[in-house]
Structure 1
């Protein structure tokens, strides 16, 4: 009887079982996971070359300038010398640290140690713990310390996102310590943290919240990290104090106040809310992070995982502006959404976070780097027949270059995870895991997604009991698992783990089969635009290779924007079927390459599509709807294209990049979003610099959202009064004096008179004709 009982238990253990939750999850160090081949290994190798192509002394130059030390090389241009000086240097520290942890490349460690020593030298010269590259940093921070604060969405005292900038250095110092155990990095990190603590000490909570209106990255997160490292409670208190309540409180109340906000400004704040909640046990803050994540992933994200149009959250019920724009989802957003997804997965043990993580990793992050010569993508348009632009090491210093050099260093961070005893396989990427503490090795061999199979080989010095959990992805319903050729029974469902519990021996083989189906994923606004997916992979079609202006970016301020000709939307291919059998139109060409076709298009994985215009979203409709929609788009686009043909330059007021690009300055100014329009007003003045290309601009049109009296406003161009031609239908038309037509750079100053606010200004256009 005793032996029968033992035998029954043994059989129960051998069978695979469901594992929806687990003891607290932990990641493996990057040093423990080695990529072996495939697209991710290639991306890591290409990123390594890009990282090594950058010059450390050029990246350090802004810090040396601020500290008053002699330069060893002139700083980079582009964003690194136009206000965000030093921000790439912080990202570079993180990239060096994580790539070194992933590859053990000695040159990376040498560069990292050198940069940290130089930053320490700058910190010592400054004498108060501060080190930074922000232009005129000492003057700027002294104003903040005295409570002289004028904050807007991206300008703090007319300085371009200084807190966002210095956050990159904070994060880089943290990563240098955590990934490479650089003790000097920790010392500089703590010194910088203490300087910031002294900086804000005289400020009231209200003043701090005003300061936080301006984009500030994950400042609350890095102070929570400082607390976690040092256990000094003052850092956790600062983390709580510098958490932006205007964003946090609506999320706690489960109120969606996100439409119109600058997207990547908000995501790092929420990562901080979640981090702080893990440390102080504040459930409301963690619930706020979950609500935010659910809102973005279910209501605001497109098929490849990205979100935002022109860097802002669009309305959840209308993605039309994103479909029209050449500025689709920003890669930085997905960089941060992966960080938030990872944090929530580790906190909640919920595999829905991995489903989103996987989709975004393959379709946005992997696709955002050119797979041969390198270069990173800022905007990924979903507009049919448009394209992306790639950075170059010497010309491009955008935010998405900073996050880009990090993105491809850390692919090993979540392929596997573990609790105290057991191992979990989360992603199907060829790799080798070395769990040194448990003396367990696992080799994963797969060609996924080009194959439905993944083989895992267990390597042990001696047999031992533990569990291996295999993630059951959301996108498949017929998963199969065998161990040493024996099929395993399980009751697990999608977004759960299949748990294999047994006494493992050296050489045991697990074979996982992951059948994938082709399906449509519609935009969240319930429109008829759909992406074609195969399993978790977005399929898209190369449509053209003409007019790829600026495909490889120059050093211009907006070089990251694909400014080539917009091809009319009515020329986009649609899925047309009167019986709504749209999937029947899609035929398999080569399953081993994931090649499909319909109409005259060949569909391939989007992460393999480069150097071309493409179509990722397709309208689904019957033949009658197709005829009507084609005519509608044709009429609409003819009006838009005529307006653009008459425009020499334009500014979308209240949007970060257009305003920075046009050298925005102002006082007593607010910005916002209402009724589908961004806007900016002022009770003092605002000014912009317009570019009169080819000296064609003769008139200025200012679109406003409110009625106003002309005596309450004044308009100056290069300090000379402008004549108001008309003020009708909330459009002010101004004539440029003939004497200014010969000037390429036109500075427009708009002043509010008589102590009243100006109307909310939506857009400014420099035009050829009135």
Structure 2
């Protein structure tokens, strides 16, 4: 069917809304399996273990021991908020009464803890004092109210991202109230909202901006929702004051200054601004959210729809330089999909759901291991890197475990949309739904994205009549879609990425759509010769074998003028063999998301035959150099980045994360220091630190287990570039140890660093220390 210039856009509703999740039931598919695996995981979790600190810090006896991982750190409590939301979503998606019972139980427990405190505050977050003891985190807020605000970006006066944790609790309570009207949930969240309203009211604008330099999640969104539920304008005032000028002002102005910002810290701020626009109508809020979405999806995203390297945005259109083992934090995509739905509500555009579908299929679905129920933190795209899933029996309770339990509770939430009497199908996922507006029951049958099409049946229709049904036409499908009604070809109206059939419908009618699922290559932003293979919405990956052991192979490269001609279908769903294309050997391509416990290659350097001959020696030499460094590395410390600093037990005083020329690091000012642990192994070792070559004069000491290893002087050493300095370690410093502490201490009236990464690796044979 050729695309015709019909006014399809005029048949779409101005402000569509999704059918309620409770009205949608998934039919058998990988999505339905994910929901059931996740439901089992939620059942295995113990609410009383999440509630341990809430009761303990309120002076009540805990009913169960606390969980480990992040829940046993100063960020304790964030997972309970996620868990509450996941219980609500699972109840809506499946009707599971146990999920609703648990959610109500948690609210009762929180209400008791809040009443015992008597201040409106309720929480589990901790505060680490200088002597290392962890106490009730509430004690930081009176300090904040006095203007004593000490933050390194994620730490606030000794507590880890406390307002982020508060936001998760807010969101969980609001979701429970919104789902079935639990009045006690609104009571608890109102008390909590009043507590922090008083905290913020004590701060002037400069102090507030300093406070908001520490991650605060989507707390602005929660206050906006609280306002919409209560119509109390005090909450709207707080929501609008939760505005980080440093990040948001450039977005309002249409400027991309995202490089070196922690990605997931920013996305929820824009979700909140979008929600605020719905309440205020202020154009700058909508403009910032829209510009941010376009900027991230078009200039900062990988082929699977995720973004960020080691949790941080890089320079725009530089993805090809950031294909690492630390790409695509799941929380980022979880929040980007929320933002996508918000933008779609303002104006239906199929391009929004082209992104949604890609990220949902390739990233979200890869982030849960259906065998175990575990979740990824990062989804690595570096060749040969296996995914690391959480152990559901010994959970670390990362942030991405929390967003994971939400994401896999709601795979039916964005399939069907409605407005002005019409229906929109945005995702081709097998499902049934009750469409209350028309008194209809609809069924969507499809094997997409493995097979090219879907059938929508109006199984029941109590309110017959003329209305439009819009089926999304993915942007990659071009003009070759075909639409039928009851098996007969029709010519739909085309507009805004939809094929729209507007007619009088009756029960039993079937509308179907088909489109090609052809292979294509997509270049990574920043290098047209770094490519990935895509089939329809699905990213394919070269299968490199089981995840056990270490990856020792060479990164495969594509060589040839017509790469796609070398692909032929093979046995298996969306599986292809290659012939004569890859160097050093051909491989089989499979759906990327399904590589749960296997190693993959997603991005490939592409060469012509002549180009490969010219580049082969240099290309393979560079591969060998990188692998040699990786093979000899014992531990790597990415300074200035949240999770690596947590993993390496970083402690500091008068020390700050920095970013420059696309790299993150950390410095320490006079009187301060930063110290972290690094793993060791027997034998001669070398400590390597990276610096910027155009620093002004400064001096600092480097200590290993409090023994001075070296004094470093920096002063315009290698102008205009980064450089590395190697410090051989005396074996006496590491002998018999599994780890050492590395410390950077500035001289008086000087600075230490900035240091843009530290690596510990084995010395080459023959080296002496």
Do these two structures clear the TM 0.5 threshold for a shared fold by scoring above it? Answer: yes
- Contact 1:651-1:764 at 8 Å conserved across structures: yes
Identify the range of structure 1 (436-445 vs 725-734) with the bigger mean alpha-carbon deviation: 725-734
- Contact 1:521-1:532 at 8 Å conserved across structures: yes
Alpha carbons of 1:631 and 1:65: their partners in 2 closer, same or farther (altered >3 Å)?
farther
Alignment pair present for 1:677 and 2:663: yes
For 2:447 and 2:761, how far apart are their aligned partners in 1? 54
1:752 to 742, 746, 756: 746
For 2:435 and 2:492, how far apart are their aligned partners in 1? 26
- Contact 1:150-1:668 at 8 Å conserved across structures: no
For 2:182 and 2:166, how far apart are their aligned partners in 1? 20
Cα distance, 1:765 vs structure 2: 3.3
Cα distance, 1:241 vs structure 2: 0.8
Q: How does 1:191-206 map to 2 (within 5 A)?
A: 191-206=191-206
Partner-residue secondary structure (3-state), 2:216:
coil
1:35 to 26, 33, 49: 26
| Residue of structure 1 in register with 2:132 after alignment | none
Task: Provide, for residues 269-294 of structure 1, a one-character-per-residue CA deviation record: whole Å limited to 9, x for no partner.
Answer: 11112111221111112111111111
For 2:215 and 2:317, how far apart are their aligned partners in 1? 26
Cα distance, 1:159 vs structure 2: 2.5
- Contact 1:468-1:499 at 8 Å conserved across structures: yes
Identify the range of structure 1 (672-681 vs 359-368) with the bigger mean alpha-carbon deviation: 672-681
For 1:535 and 1:638, how far apart are their aligned partners in 2? 35
Alpha carbons of 1:443 and 1:545: their partners in 2 closer, same or farther (altered >3 Å)?
same
Q: How does 1:509-588 map to 2 (within 5 A)?
A: 509-545=510-546, 547-548=548-549, 565-567=550-552, 571-577=554-560, 580-588=561-569
- Contact 2:700-2:750 at 8 Å conserved across structures: no
For 1:472 and 1:711, how far apart are their aligned partners in 2? 59
For 1:89 and 1:657, how far apart are their aligned partners in 2? 20
Task: Provide, for residues 688-726 of structure 1, a one-character-per-residue CA deviation record: whole Å limited to 9, x for no partner.
Answer: 231343465766443332677998534455455555388
For 1:744 and 1:513, how far apart are their aligned partners in 2? 59
| Residue of structure 1 in register with 2:645 after alignment | 659
Cα distance, 1:194 vs structure 2: 0.8
For 2:320 and 2:426, how far apart are their aligned partners in 1? 35
Cα distance, 1:737 vs structure 2: 9.1
| Residue of structure 2 in register with 1:762 after alignment | 756
Alpha carbons of 1:646 and 1:454: their partners in 2 closer, same or farther (altered >3 Å)?
closer
For 2:42 and 2:389, how far apart are their aligned partners in 1? 15
- Contact 2:700-2:713 at 8 Å conserved across structures: no
Alpha carbons of 1:696 and 1:257: their partners in 2 closer, same or farther (altered >3 Å)?
farther
For 1:696 and 1:144, how far apart are their aligned partners in 2? 48
| Residue of structure 1 in register with 2:340 after alignment | 341
For 2:628 and 2:41, how far apart are their aligned partners in 1? 41
| Residue of structure 2 in register with 1:635 after alignment | 621
Partner-residue secondary structure (3-state), 2:658:
strand
Unaligned 5+ segments in structure 1 are 1-14, 549-564
Alignment pair present for 1:622 and 2:608: yes
Length-normalised TM-score, structure 2: 0.90
Alpha carbons of 1:674 and 1:35: their partners in 2 closer, same or farther (altered >3 Å)?
same
For 1:124 and 1:648, how far apart are their aligned partners in 2? 50
Cα distance, 1:150 vs structure 2: 1.5
| Residue of structure 1 in register with 2:766 after alignment | none
Cα distance, 1:43 vs structure 2: 1.1
Cα distance, 1:671 vs structure 2: 2.1
Cα distance, 1:738 vs structure 2: 3.9
Cα distance, 1:566 vs structure 2: 4.8
For 1:270 and 1:582, how far apart are their aligned partners in 2? 40
- Contact 2:301-2:319 at 8 Å conserved across structures: no
Partner-residue secondary structure (3-state), 2:15:
coil
Alpha carbons of 1:233 and 1:732: their partners in 2 closer, same or farther (altered >3 Å)?
farther
For 1:739 and 1:681, how far apart are their aligned partners in 2? 24
- Contact 2:446-2:455 at 8 Å conserved across structures: yes
- Contact 1:174-1:186 at 8 Å conserved across structures: yes
Q: How does 1:221-236 map to 2 (within 5 A)?
A: 221-236=221-236
| Residue of structure 2 in register with 1:152 after alignment | 152
What is the root-mean-square deviation of aligned Cα atoms in Å? 2.5
Cα distance, 1:138 vs structure 2: 2.0
| Residue of structure 1 in register with 2:450 after alignment | 450
- Contact 1:16-1:499 at 8 Å conserved across structures: no
- Contact 1:531-1:538 at 8 Å conserved across structures: yes
For 1:711 and 1:31, how far apart are their aligned partners in 2? 62
Alignment pair present for 1:705 and 2:692: yes
For 1:707 and 1:64, how far apart are their aligned partners in 2? 53
- Contact 2:386-2:547 at 8 Å conserved across structures: no
Alpha carbons of 1:691 and 1:97: their partners in 2 closer, same or farther (altered >3 Å)?
same
- Contact 1:672-1:678 at 8 Å conserved across structures: yes
For 1:628 and 1:309, how far apart are their aligned partners in 2? 31
Cα distance, 1:601 vs structure 2: 2.0
Alpha carbons of 1:31 and 1:417: their partners in 2 closer, same or farther (altered >3 Å)?
same
Task: Provide, for residues 445-500 of structure 1, a one-character-per-residue CA deviation record: whole Å limited to 9, x for no partner.
Answer: 1111222231111111353332222222212121122222332213415x433222
| Residue of structure 2 in register with 1:605 after alignment | 591
| Residue of structure 1 in register with 2:80 after alignment | 89
Alpha carbons of 1:319 and 1:739: their partners in 2 closer, same or farther (altered >3 Å)?
closer
Task: Provide, for residues 589-641 of structure 1, a one-character-per-residue CA deviation record: whole Å limited to 9, x for no partner.
Answer: 35x82222213322222222221111122222212322444433432243334
Identify the range of structure 1 (62-71 vs 356-365) with the bigger mean alpha-carbon deviation: 62-71
| Residue of structure 1 in register with 2:576 after alignment | 596
Length-normalised TM-score, structure 1: 0.90
Q: How does 1:113-512 map to 2 (within 5 A)?
A: 113-135=104-126, 136-323=136-323, 325-396=324-395, 397-458=397-458, 459-477=460-478, 478-493=480-495, 495-512=496-513
Alpha carbons of 1:281 and 1:726: their partners in 2 closer, same or farther (altered >3 Å)?
closer
Partner-residue secondary structure (3-state), 2:355:
helix
Cα distance, 1:235 vs structure 2: 1.2
Identify the range of structure 1 (167-176 vs 508-517) with the bigger mean alpha-carbon deviation: 508-517
- Contact 2:557-2:606 at 8 Å conserved across structures: yes
- Contact 2:366-2:379 at 8 Å conserved across structures: no
- Contact 1:54-1:394 at 8 Å conserved across structures: no
Alpha carbons of 1:726 and 1:712: their partners in 2 closer, same or farther (altered >3 Å)?
closer
Partner-residue secondary structure (3-state), 1:521:
strand
Partner-residue secondary structure (3-state), 2:246:
helix
For 1:273 and 1:594, how far apart are their aligned partners in 2? 40
Identify the range of structure 1 (690-699 vs 385-394) with the bigger mean alpha-carbon deviation: 690-699
- Contact 2:438-2:462 at 8 Å conserved across structures: no
Partner-residue secondary structure (3-state), 1:411:
coil
Partner-residue secondary structure (3-state), 2:756:
strand
For 1:589 and 1:547, how far apart are their aligned partners in 2? 25
Alpha carbons of 1:598 and 1:641: their partners in 2 closer, same or farther (altered >3 Å)?
closer
Alpha carbons of 1:744 and 1:385: their partners in 2 closer, same or farther (altered >3 Å)?
closer
Task: Provide, for residues 560-580 of structure 1, a one-character-per-residue CA deviation record: whole Å limited to 9, x for no partner.
Answer: xxxxx4545xx2333221xx2
- Contact 1:700-1:736 at 8 Å conserved across structures: no
Partner-residue secondary structure (3-state), 1:689:
strand
> Paired residues, what number?
733
Unaligned 5+ segments in structure 2 are 127-135, 580-585, 764-768
For 1:316 and 1:630, how far apart are their aligned partners in 2? 29
Cα distance, 1:732 vs structure 2: 7.1
Cα distance, 1:102 vs structure 2: 0.8
Cα distance, 1:45 vs structure 2: 1.0
Cα distance, 1:298 vs structure 2: 0.8
For 2:393 and 2:371, how far apart are their aligned partners in 1? 17
